[in-house]
Amino acid sequence: MKRAPVIPKHSVKNTPAEIEQPASVAPAAPMVDSLIARVGAMARGNSILLPVCGREVKFTLEAIPGDTAETASRVWSGNERDQELLTEDALDDLIPSFLLSGQQTPAFGRRVSGVIEVADGSRRRKAAILTSSDYRILVGDLDDEQMMALSRLGNDYRPTSAYERGKRYAYRLENEFGGNVSALADAENISRKIITRCINTARLPKPVVALFLHPGELSARAGEALYKAFTGKEDLLQELTDQLHEQKKAGVIFEGDEVIGLLTGKLKESSSAKVNLSTRHQFVPGASVLYKGDKVIFNLDKTRLPAECIEKIEGILWELQQNKPL
């Protein structure tokens, strides 16, 4: 199964696993693997102490029945993963193992007003809902900084898409950096070009991104190219997107490159049709027509055409004038 993670089978150790705000220079996988090793063997009701952002937090493992997970839990607003894009196709790396043996790795969250807020584990939450499996989550007393640290740690381990990152970059650019892309790039420790590409990808309508099996199949480079290609042609993009979604409902499966090819291919066909309309046709010497977009321009030479021909054309136009609506 593509994108299936390799989860190491470790025994629980007594050494602490520090959960810090993930640094961009350090990969998240070793840290997450360490956490998996500690919590993987826990049973419902068991507790564990883990440092999060330098502060010890007591986590208790809870198991929410799959048929109530949607109402008994919610995804924390600071989690950048787009929940509407978590479809069965997007979760094809998790659903088989959930059906076979249930959730292997607990999520992390906190309880707020009787509802569990999920910091890390929104994909596992949706997989549990879709498969009616127990949703296992470690619940602790966490503040927003710790929730953000856990959320980003999970996103670094299972990266979000260019579209999802672009949404976050756009928000931060407007609300934290006053439109200064360079300052945002420095804060995120990535290039201005990547920031811009992701933001442009995030400007695509969500139904376009939903055409892909997984939003991660749409790269920042391809997303920006698609956005620029259809700028000013939004109605055409919506029409093409609707057509492809209808085919998906009928059971057609599109690969990522195929989606891009179908959209841009139709765009080229449309452009070619417009070029063909902007052509001139000569019927006889002295009578030609220029087709230019939605306009038809007649060029008639009275010295080369019979008078009755001109009179017929004028008669048609006079009749239109007489019958025009008030």
pLDDT at 216: 92
Q: Which residues contact 49 (CB under 8 A, 6 or more apart)?
A: 16, 56, 57, 58, 59
The tens digit of pLDDT for each residue in 240-252 reads: 999 999 998 888 8
pLDDT category of residue 270 using cuts at 50, 70 and 90: low
pLDDT at 169: 96
Helix axes 162-175, 181-188, angle to 10 degrees: 120
pLDDT at 163: 96
160, 181, 212 - which closes a domain: 160
The per-residue pLDDT of the chain, averaged, comes to 83
Mean pLDDT across 203-221: 94
Q: Higher model confidence: residue 227 or residue 303?
A: 227
Are 58 and 179 part of one and the same domain? no
Mean pLDDT across 208-222: 94
Are 273 and 182 part of one and the same domain? yes
Does this model's pTM top 0.75? Answer: no
pLDDT category of residue 282 using cuts at 50, 70 and 90: confident
9 pLDDT above the threshold of 60: no
Mean pLDDT across 294-308: 81
pLDDT at 320: 80
pLDDT category of residue 267 using cuts at 50, 70 and 90: confident
Are 6 and 154 part of one and the same domain? yes
CA distance 124 to 131: 10
pLDDT at 205: 96
Are 128 and 174 part of one and the same domain? no
- Looking up residue 223, the CATH number of its domain turns out to be 1.10.10.2830
pLDDT at 1: 39
Are 2 and 80 part of one and the same domain? yes
Domain range enclosing 313? 279-323
Are 41 and 188 part of one and the same domain? no
pLDDT category of residue 288 using cuts at 50, 70 and 90: confident
SS3 58: strand
The tens digit of pLDDT for each residue in 86-111 reads: 999 899 889 999 999 999 889 999 99
pLDDT category of residue 33 using cuts at 50, 70 and 90: low
Q: Which residues contact 260 (CB under 8 A, 6 or more apart)?
A: 218, 222, 226
Mean pLDDT across 184-200: 95
CA torsion through residues 74, 75, 78, 84, sign: negative
8 pLDDT above the threshold of 50: no
- Amino acid identity at 52: V
Are 300 and 209 part of one and the same domain? no
Question: What is the tally of structural domains in the chain?
Answer: 3
Are 184 and 254 part of one and the same domain? yes
Are 188 and 118 part of one and the same domain? no
Q: From the CB of residue 263, how many other CB atoms can be counted at a distance below 10 Å?
A: 19
Are 85 and 202 part of one and the same domain? no
pLDDT at 18: 47
Q: Higher model confidence: residue 185 or residue 309?
A: 185
The tens digit of pLDDT for each residue in 151-167 reads: 988 877 778 999 999 99
- Amino acid identity at 193: K
Are 195 and 75 part of one and the same domain? no
pLDDT category of residue 269 using cuts at 50, 70 and 90: low
160, 186, 213 - which closes a domain: 160
pLDDT category of residue 275 using cuts at 50, 70 and 90: very low
**Percentage of the chain exceeding pLDDT 90:** 54
Q: Higher model confidence: residue 131 or residue 20?
A: 131
pLDDT at 306: 86
Cβ atoms of 209 and 84 within 8 Å: the answer is no
Are 175 and 86 part of one and the same domain? no
Q: Of 145-149, 183-187, 247-251, where does mean pLDDT reach its minimum?
A: 247-251
Q: Of 24-28, 37-41, 278-282, where does mean pLDDT reach its minimum?
A: 24-28
